[in-house]
Amino acid sequence: MATIVELTQVQVAQETSYTGPIGQYWIEGSETPISLDQAYLIGVSKFWDSVGKRYLKNVVHVYLSTTQMSPIVVTDSYATIVGYITANT
């Protein structure tokens, strides 16, 4: 039987100024619950903003074993996702 976990997916947007892109941020209000089979969770990483050269706070990339949705951006903690992945082994 599958173990279903619920994560909170968010959207990320590019922050710009009159001189061009300055970084990324997660769009507050874009939070959407997403239910996934825990067995599909295969990796997690902090969200690196290559333009702003920083990690975004309170969001992580979650990598899935399915190619249809990988990776997704969620507000669940890094430790929570690691716990789900560890439980799969």
Res 40: pLDDT = 92
Closest among 37, 53, 55, 35 to 45, alpha carbons compared: 55
pLDDT in tens, the chain (89 residues): 679 999 999 999 988 888 878 889 889 899 999 999 999 999 999 999 988 899 999 999 999 998 776 789 999 999 999 999 999 87
Q: What is the full DSSP assignment across 27-46?
A: -TT--EEEEEEGGGEEEEEE
Cβ-Cβ contacts under 8 Å for 22 (sequence gap 6 or more): 15, 16, 51, 52
pLDDT of residue 1: 65
Q: What is the pLDDT of residue 8?
A: 96
Residue ranges per domain, the chain?
Answer: 4-88
Tokens 């997403």, residue?
34
DSSP 88: H
Q: Which amino acid is residue 72, in one-letter code?
A: I
